[in-house]
């Protein structure tokens, strides 16, 4: 079936209305400029969003954010809300890399102070933080310790000496999702998770030393401890093979349950179960365990990042002022209360490749930022900029409190390998003053900047629509990849 054609209904806003022919229960709203929309029309993004809008219990609207692109069932860069009592929960609507997310460390260093030791810093970080496909962390967990990681998230790592007081407080959900149930995690997922805690992984995951190039919101930047010329460190990774296995396990559970629940799907990749069912409860418990694994994983990487800076620069952690600004989650489903069709409803918000962007005054925003709004991080492609944004009230009206999560791929990894070479990419990055360490040449070529959309345009849509607005622009100095 051809994808429905979106109609322009406002500046950077396109819509597909539900009809008997397209089978949608709610509209699809696409937030993009013409160029970004054109890229979405070049793959299955719009068709997939329309399929999501046909799921039982979907309410309000399905949103495609400006970084949207084709994914597994749900488009990446997609947001959908299901009624918490009558709607579904879908493992594909969360994704394989549960709680793939981004955290930002600030430092007290100026970029020019760090640049003479940049290659040494990147090399030390590369040696200290395991990366690559199947990479193993420096900590081998016992079964009991893994249970504690699943239950406590970032707090487990901090209490174990891998961090400092206050780190978990500035993570989404304080770095620990309630309701985690280790008993709902398969033995196969456990075996994959035991050796991987504290590792970066591969694909689009990275750790990047950056320079603050521009400040657009002085008040918000000051609250976050951000200033122009400062060195920051951005980490992008998730729950590794542990989360991937949890998703795989519960996709099979969902597929087997479709007939029993009488669920008819436009695409079997959207396999789902009623949120209130035994299967839905089991998935939520296992998903929360994977969310907590990811927060603990990023916390341990943060710890080793601080130690690398101390070793190379011969400064103490206190002198370096390496404080965590915030940690945001992508690939997550949470029960939240939102205004839907004029009334407050409890809904399961699926954010797949999307970042929560709550505004000022909401209880879910940490005390440090409650008066200004939640920090949002949108990483660009390797060698381009990343952005700090601030959640705004417009997100609650348009996107169930969400915005984009990155630049969004526009070129497959196989095409990137065909069209670019490692030497070309490294030279282009070197010409920009960016030093890269990667375990494989594919890790460099597949993540070439040309494989991604223009992150400045993605951020511009969010800013201009008032979903999440610009605070600061960060540009890379050094990158480690798997």
Q: Give the separation between CA 190 and CA 451, rounded to whole angstroms.
A: 33
Question: What is the full DSSP assignment across 415-478?
Answer: HHHHH--HHHHHHHHHHTT-EEEESSHHHHHTT-GGGB--HHHHHHHHHHHTSEEEEEEEEEEE
Q: Give the separation between CA 174 and CA 438, rounded to whole angstroms.
A: 31
Question: What is the total residue count of the chain?
Answer: 482
Give me the helices (H) in 314-367, please: 317-320
Tell me which residue has tokens 């035994």.
278
Name the phi and psi angles at 366, rounded to 5: -55, 150
Classify strands 13-16 and 7-10 as parallel, antiparallel or unpaired: antiparallel
Catalytic, 405? Answer yes
Give me the helices (H) in 204-275, please: 218-224, 240-261
> Which position among 350, 405, 420, 463 bears the catalytic label?
405
What percent of the residues of the chain are helix, what percent strand, and what percent coil, each to the nearest 5?
40, 25, 35
Classify strands 386-391 and 468-481 as parallel, antiparallel or unpaired: antiparallel
Enzyme catalytic residues: 405
């Amino acid at each position: 079936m051809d994808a429905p054609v979106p109609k322009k209904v406002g500046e950077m806003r396109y819509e597909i209305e539900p009809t008997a022919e397209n089978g949608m229960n709610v509209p699809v709203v696409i937030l993009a400029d013409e160029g970004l929309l054109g890229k979405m029309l070049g793959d299955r993004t719009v068709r997939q969003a329309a399929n999501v809008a046909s799921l039982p219990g979907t309410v309000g609207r399905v949103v495609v954010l400006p970084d949207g692109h084709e994914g597994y069932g749900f488009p990446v860069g997609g947001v959908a809300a299901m009624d918490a009592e009558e709607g579904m929960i879908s493992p594909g609507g969360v994704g394989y890399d549960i709680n793939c997310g981004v955290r930002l460390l600030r430092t007290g260093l100026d970029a020019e102070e760090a640049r003479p030791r940049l290659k040494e810093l990147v090399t030390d970080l590369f040696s200290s933080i395991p990366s690559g496909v199947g990479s193993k962390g420096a900590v081998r967990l016992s079964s009991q310790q893994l249970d504690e990681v699943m239950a406590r998230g970032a707090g487990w790592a901090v209490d174990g000496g891998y961090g400092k007081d206050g780190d978990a407080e500035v993570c989404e959900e304080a770095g620990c999702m309630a309701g985690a149930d280790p008993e709902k995690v398969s033995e196969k997922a456990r075996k994959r998770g035991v050796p991987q805690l504290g590792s970066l992984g591969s694909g689009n995951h990275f750790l990047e030393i950056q320079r603050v190039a521009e400040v657009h919101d002085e008040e918000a930047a000051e609250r976050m401890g951000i200033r122009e010329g400062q060195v920051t460190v951005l980490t992008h990774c998730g729950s590794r093979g542990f989360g991937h296995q949890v998703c795989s396990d519960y996709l099979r559970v969902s597929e087997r349950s479709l007939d029993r629940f009488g669920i008819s799907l436009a695409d079997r990749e959207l396999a789902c179960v009623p949120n209130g069912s035994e299967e839905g409860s089991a998935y939520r418990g296992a998903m929360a365990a994977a969310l907590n694994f990811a927060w603990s994983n990023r916390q341990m990487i943060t710890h080793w990042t601080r130690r690398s800076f101390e070793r190379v620069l011969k400064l103490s952690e206190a002198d370096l002022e390496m404080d965590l600004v915030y940690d945001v989650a992508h690939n997550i489903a949470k029960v939240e209360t939102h205004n839907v069709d004029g009334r407050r409803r409890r809904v399961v918000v699926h954010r797949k490749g999307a970042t929560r962007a709550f505004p000022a005054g909401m209880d879910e925003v940490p005390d440090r930022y409650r008066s200004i709004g939640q920090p949002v991080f949108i990483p660009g492609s390797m060698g381009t900029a990343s952005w700090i944004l601030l959640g705004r009230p417009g997100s609650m009206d348009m996107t169930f409190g969400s915005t984009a999560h990155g630049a969004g791929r526009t070129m497959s990894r196989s095409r990137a390998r065909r069209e670019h070479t490692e030497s070309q990419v490294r030279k282009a990055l070197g010409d920009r003053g960016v030093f890269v360490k990667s375990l494989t040449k594919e890790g460099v070529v597949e993540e070439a900047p040309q494989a991604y959309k223009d992150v400045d345009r993605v951020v511009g849509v969010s800013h201009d629509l008032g979903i999440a607005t610009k605070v600061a622009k960060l540009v890379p100095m050094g990158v480690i990849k798997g």
